[in-house]
Amino acid sequence: MSGERDGLGPGWIEVTGRTVEEATLVGLQRLGLAAAEDAEVEVLEEPQRGLLGVFGGRGARIRMRRRPDRLEALSRLALDIARAAGLEDLSVDSFRDEEGYIHINLKGPGLGRLIGRRGETLDALQYLLNLASARMPGRPERVIFDADGYRERRRQALEALAERVSARVRRTGREVVLEPMTPQERKIVHLAVAREEGLTSESRGQEPFRRVVVKPAPTSGRDGAAGGESPDER
């Protein structure tokens, strides 16, 4: 029974046993794991029966490793996708936030290719990473994917925009219609406008051309809740 060998790769151990099941049990013990779901198992050789069922038979040979946890697996997937897109020398910073979201942030040169026009590619990748997360065993967890801090930069730009537009609406007393945005982007603008005194916002039009409209709040004393849709869309 050999331990780690050349070519096994990080974390893999090779185990033999009379049957695959027996080898798996031994491997679990060696890896310090409680259940077979915690391990990845690959059968290298099925057991072979020898003459008369005894002589010359060969046992099973398998390799096993601890199943990478979701954060690790998703980080690796993001890097694999980037590498397949021709991006090398990237680093990944991933963590779980207080609300339980998994954040995967890629850093390095050339990431514009994964961001795309107005973050469309970034959103597509985030969607695909969420599907991958949902396929993994255990309770599903949401993923927020970012490249080069794009989402944070975009949030700051949208908040600055909301501030400028708010000032203009207040000055002129007339509503301003913004460029089409994704639901996430519109939410950032709605929240920013909600912090402004005497102004309100709503969304108009159909996806993907839905736009935020910033306008003076009705003066009837009712708060912003009058008319239109809730700004708390998602």
Partner 1 sequence: MQVELLKVIVRAIVSNPEAVKVTEERRHAQTVLLLEVAPEDVGRVIGRQGRIIKAIRKVLKTAGGPRAKYVTIDVVSR
- Based on the shown chain and the rule CB under 8 A, indicate whether residue 182 belongs to the binding site for partner 1: no
Q: Show the CA angle centred on residue 222, arms to residues 219 and 226, nearest 5°.
A: 95
Is there binding between residue 71 and partner 1 (CB under 8 A)? no
Determine the size of the site formed for partner 1 (CB under 8 A). 19
Residue 145 to residues 23, 73, 76, 120, Cα–Cα distance (Å): 39, 14, 13, 12
113/222 with CB nearer partner 1: 113
By CB under 8 A, is residue 33 in contact with partner 1?
Answer: no
Q: What residues contact 90, with CB distance under 8 A and at least 6 apart?
A: 79, 82, 83, 106, 107, 108, 111
Q: How far is CA 106 from the centre of its chain?
A: 11
- Minimum distance, C-beta of residue 12 to partner 1, in the bound complex (Å): 18
CA separation, residue 136 to residues 40, 70, 122, 166 (Å): 13, 7, 21, 44
Q: Which of 229, 234, 168 is nearest to 202 (CA)?
A: 229
Site string for partner 1, 143-172 (x = CB under 8 A): ------------------------------
Question: Considering only residues 91-130, where is the footprint of partner 1 by CB under 8 A?
Answer: 113-114, 116-117, 120-121, 124-125, 127-128
Shortest separation between residue 184's beta carbon and partner 1, angstroms: 15
| Minimum CB distance to partner 1 smaller for 25 or for 81 | 81
Nearer to partner 1, 121 or 184 (CB): 121
Rule CB under 8 A: which residues touch partner 1?
77, 80-81, 84-86, 113-114, 116-117, 120-121, 124-125, 127-128, 131-132, 135
